[in-house]
Structure 1
Amino acid sequence: LPVRHICTLSPAGRQKRGPVITDDDIAQSRRRNAVPCTSRGCTWSKGSNGNVVIPVFISNSYSWAERRVIIRSLLTFHRTTCIRFVWWRGQSDYIYFFPGSGCWSYLGRQGGLQLISLNRFGCVYLPIVQHEVLHALGFHHEHVRSDRDDYVRIIFRNIQEDKKRNFRRVNTNNLNTPYDYNSVMHYSTYAFSISPGELQTITARNSNVEFGQATEMSRKDIRRVNRLYQCSEFKIKTKLSEHLADITCNL
């Protein structure tokens, strides 16, 4: 299809019923138990050229400025990993970004149309887009990883009752990488507190460590993507938030 049509093409077969959201921003899979979803079967396919090509469609409901943020966020994966996002041209498996209720994503590749919700009021920011895309690539929140108790304390008595499930430890594949306080997947210290700003829900065992304030993917976030998808070594730049000029319809 010509580029001008790719930019306005609407995906077919949209889901009519919203998914059940667990762990704050992870949509419950209808096809499998996705825990832990860093094993064969939930990752995206790798091509013969070594790249993992993922078709995407961005809802026309977003403004151009919002689309630019989403595109810019996707391009950070191009610069540091072998993940390559391309415009959807009718492929069977693809990600559809739309302004749903809140910020959420499925965990790992689901097959077929796969939603990522980025509400226009509060979700269209680089670290949030990266966060939800990392879920779609197969990654859990950092604070639920299998060895988290060696690094943080979860204070369940301070957590809102209906949000305690968001803090359950998961038997994750940590890809031989250390715990990452700087991960864009890490909750903040007052996440879902019954008294925000007063009662902490997560504390670091090392009192000198700060966490939950990431403005972009960390080096360890990037390293995990490259290990999970067996990417060649990439030179990781100190800052991923460099200006990207001339972002057009083409990724």
Structure 2
Amino acid sequence: AREFGHYGRGQRFQLITMKNHLVITLLSSLFFSLCLSDENVSDEGSCRVLVDAHDRAAMYSRNFIGGRSNRWPNGIVPYTISSNFSSSQRQTIMDSIKHISDRTCVKFVQRTNQANYVDIFTGASGCNANLGYNSGRARSVLHLQSDGCVHLGIIVHELLHILGFAHEQTRPDRDQYVTISWENIRSGTYSNFWRALGENEAVTIPYCGIVGIDQYDNCNAGFRTSTFGMAYDYGSIMHYGLTYFSTNGQNTITLKKSTTARIPNRSGMSDLDVQKTKAAYECQDAATAQTSTTSPEPTSSSLAPAPTTTTAKPCVDTFRYCSYYTSYCGKHSYINQNCKKTCFNCVCENKIADESCTSLKGYCGYSFIRQFCLKGCGKC
């Protein structure tokens, strides 16, 4: 497999913007992603996402959207584990797999004769994994160096790459939440901080690989990713540490909002990591599955009873995490019933002019359109 995203070693991306789309030429050995443990792995080059010719073909055709187009079919991931791991290391890998499958509908199954599968093996080349499923690849790889990578948080991080997810701080909306200090970033590693394009974002800014550092605040990373309507998550297991790739010990990432989250989190999936995975894989239990922290998922037992009166009920949310589930408004009966204020679902009416909703009917697949055009989209 070849590596994606680290711009250097005399090789580069080329990007041509033609009629509002990207044609990306990826050449040879480049690496994109970092999954450092704050206590076990210290070399930036040891953890990366691998992108091969099959992924490049998808990018050429504009069909590659991180977290969406590279999902494993039916949420089933066949895997093999190398016999070169010790029994305790193998148990840690199994615990990491269970960590994800217990919290989502994604199922990891031991490979029998499946053509497409994940080969979990060890060697001396750090922690790295392919970025999601690709039908042409057959064998996807997840490499774990035995003396630095076989820890639950790192393995879960790598498994989420296998499931199709990139890093949190490359999200299209990241500039609302973090500031990137380009002057503090080690030369040759800038691409680790380039911003991804949104799933449906028009290409109005240049590809970062063809501009200088002075324009890195206003360029794109050359790939698209989906947020699935979830809020930015400082506590994501996919978020960089604040000094990763620093050339001088100063922050490369500065937060724009206060948080109590540990950054980087390498202890387990955050609530939003769980929700994003369930949204990506269209889990039927998206509102009821177990989470890895103390914040509850939407279940009937976690709700305070809705107020009962002899008059019309007030327009309120009866589930405290409705703001995380806006993408389910008009799609999930539990969210429609218990997030009425967030989903504008107290009265069956459009929240903008009826004629506007009529003209937008073809866009009812978008959650924000459904929120404002509940009646027009036939969602109440």
TM-score band (shorter)?
0.7 to 0.9
- Once the two structures are superposed, residues 79-105 of structure 1 have per-residue CA deviations (whole angstroms, 9 ceiling, x without a partner) of 111111111112100000111311111
C-alpha change, 1:209 and 1:74, in structure 2 (3 Å) is same
Task: State the alpha-carbon separation in 2 of the partners of residues 119 and 102 from structure 1.
Answer: 5
- The answer for unaligned runs of 5 or more in structure 2 is 4-28, 34-47, 198-224, 295-380
Shift of 1:215: 1.1
> Are 1:39 and 2:68 counterparts?
yes
> Are 1:174 and 2:227 counterparts?
yes
> Are 1:212 and 2:212 counterparts?
no
Counterpart residue number, 1:235: 289
**Normalising by structure 1, what TM-score?**
0.81
> What SS does the corresponding residue of 1:165 show, helix, strand or coil?
helix
> Are 1:62 and 2:88 counterparts?
no
> Are 1:85 and 2:113 counterparts?
no
User: Residue 167 of structure 2: which of 130, 141, 162 is its match?
Assistant: 141
Q: Tell me if the contact between 1:29 and 1:107 (Cα under 8 Å) persists in the aligned partners.
A: no
Shift of 1:209: 5.0
Counterpart residue number, 2:31: 22
> Are 1:157 and 2:210 counterparts?
no
Counterpart residue number, 1:203: 254
Q: Tell me if the contact between 1:44 and 1:54 (Cα under 8 Å) persists in the aligned partners.
A: yes
Task: State the alpha-carbon separation in 1 of the partners of residues 190 and 289 from structure 2.
Answer: 38
Shift of 1:76: 1.2
Q: Tell me if the contact between 1:192 and 1:201 (Cα under 8 Å) persists in the aligned partners.
A: yes
State the structure with more CA Rg: 2
- The answer for unaligned runs of 5 or more in structure 1 is 1-16, 47-51, 241-251
> What SS does the corresponding residue of 2:79 show, helix, strand or coil?
strand
Counterpart residue number, 1:246: none
> What percent identity do the matched residue pairs reach?
31
Measured on the aligned residues, the alpha-carbon RMSD in Å equals: 1.8
Per mean C-alpha deviation after superposition, the further-off stretch among 120-129 and 209-218 is 209-218
Counterpart residue number, 1:7: none
Residue identity in the other structure for 1:224:
K
**Normalising by structure 2, what TM-score?**
0.54
C-alpha change, 1:37 and 1:178, in structure 2 (3 Å) is same
> What SS does the corresponding residue of 2:142 show, helix, strand or coil?
strand
Counterpart residue number, 1:189: 242
Task: State the alpha-carbon separation in 2 of the partners of residues 116 and 224 from structure 1.
Answer: 21
Task: State the alpha-carbon separation in 2 of the partners of residues 145 and 237 from structure 1.
Answer: 23
Counterpart residue number, 2:128: 104
Residue identity in the other structure for 2:155:
V
User: Residue 130 of structure 1: which of 129, 150, 156 is its match?
Assistant: 156
Task: State the alpha-carbon separation in 1 of the partners of residues 259 and 140 from structure 2.
Answer: 40
Q: Tell me if the contact between 2:153 and 2:267 (Cα under 8 Å) persists in the aligned partners.
A: yes
> What SS does the corresponding residue of 2:114 show, helix, strand or coil?
coil
Task: State the alpha-carbon separation in 2 of the partners of residues 84 and 200 from structure 1.
Answer: 38
> What SS does the corresponding residue of 1:95 show, helix, strand or coil?
strand
Task: State the alpha-carbon separation in 2 of the partners of residues 199 and 207 from structure 1.
Answer: 19
Task: State the alpha-carbon separation in 2 of the partners of residues 28 and 87 from structure 1.
Answer: 24
